[in-house]
Structure 1
Amino acid sequence: MAVNDAATLVIGNGNYLTAPVGTPMPTDLLAPGTPWENVGHTSLEDIFGITSEGGEATVIGTLQNKSLRTKYSARTETLAFTLQQFDKAGLKLYFGSNAPELPDGTIGVPADPIPTSCAFLAIFVDGENHFAIYAPKAEIYRSDDLEMSDTESLAGLPLGVKPMAYNTNAWTYAITPLGEVVEPPVG
């Protein structure tokens, strides 16, 4: 692997967007346009994370070769960010897409919440570099408990985005490499 100075990333700013399931990744990441919608203000401290479950290795052998092959269990990944906008749309991302708006304007917390199903796009900007993570189908829902621990910082809604297989795709999400020109994937 060659040293590529243009492939480094220092996040200057970024945005998280949603659109209907199957919406293709925009060709212009700095101006995604409709139907992409920004989710709102997000944490400056906890910008983004990727966690995974599964993927454990099992060594399979024979009498002649005790470690003939390795088999891996299925792996699922969760993309995480903290939303700091407590409007109706933000509350529905956290509490469930089926959270009803009650007659007095409050949002009801459903007994059986349903994650929001949508296309998801995270865009991070570093000067001239633009780094994106795109899922044509994802489920968004709370990823951790809501805590409001002090009066010095903004409260946040920790969200998890679970990329899902879409149609016949053999992938659940795509990322744009830095330091080269890449055509956006087709959802």
Structure 2
Amino acid sequence: MEGTAVPLDDNAVLNPAVGHYYFAPTTGQPLPDDITAPAEPWADFGHTSLDDPFGITTDGGETETLGTWQNKNLRNTTSPRVESVTFALQQWDESAYRAFWGANATTAEAAGRTVVQVPSVPQELEGALFVLVRDGANGMFFHFPRVSIARADDIEFDAEELAGLPVRATVLGMSGQEWTYQVGTLAALSTPPGS
């Protein structure tokens, strides 16, 4: 409302201390009934990077002003916007390998262990993504019904840091649905942090 001051609300700030990434292998997966412990088909991606825990990047969305001979600034048009969630998987397991190296990666037995064979033409991992962010007893979430996950950057090992697999989850639209993702409001969670 114009002219109305917004009150300070000390409980409406967020310190994203702990978070979890959950992936479902089917697109259009609805919000989990229990956001603090999503049940199947949601599966936790495990450990992710503390340095860059969560980010949403945007490509496109530029505004161009269109005009006529009579009115040079008649109307604005905005190009389509493509958003992506970026994070680094730090749990070196098969689900992380498929997210980074391709959904069509195959496995074989060699040297007494399972090995993942990296495809020459990787297919992106498509499904749904749910991100729970905790701040003490409070939390909020992001729900992406349809994403396509692929490698975001190169692998770099540093002996003084935990190694990770940087991935990018491109947010895709669902036919017949006018929104691409949901953001939950900051509120109390039903279970204590760390559970």
Specify the structure having the higher radius of gyration (Cα): 2
> Going by fraction, where is strand more abundant, 1 or 2?
2
Query: What's the secondary structure of 2:108's corresponding residue?
Result: coil
* 1:134 maps to amino acid: H
Preserved contact between residue 7 and residue 177 of structure 1 (Cα < 8 Å): no
Report the 3-state secondary structure (helix = DSSP H, G, I; strand = E; otherwise coil) of the residue aligned with 2:117: coil
Letter in 1 for 2:11: A
RMSD (CA atoms): 1.7
Shift of 1:27: 3.1
Partner of 2:37: 31
Q: Distance in 1 between matches of 2:84 and 2:151?
A: 11
Gaps of 5+ in 1: 182-187
- The alpha carbon displacement at 1:63 in A equals 1.4
Query: What is the CA distance between 1:17 and its match in structure 2?
Result: 0.4
Instruction: Tell me the distance in 2 between the aligned counterparts of 1:147 and 1:133.
Output: 28
Number of equivalenced pairs: 180
> How many percent identity over aligned positions?
38
> Unaligned regions of 5+ residues in structure 2, if any?
1-5, 190-195
The one of the two structures with greater contact order (alpha-carbon pairs below 8 A, sep at least 6) is 1
Show the 5 A alignment for 1:120-135: 120-135=129-144
Partner of 1:15: 20
Q: Name the counterpart of 2:161.
A: 153
Instruction: Measure how far apart 1:163 and its partner are.
Output: 1.3
Change (3 A) 1:65 1:2: farther
Deviations 1:134-168 (A, max 9, x none): 111111111111111x2111100001011111231
5 Å-filtered alignment, 1:64-79, equals 64-79=70-85
Which residue of structure 2 aligns with residue 106 of structure 1?
A: 115
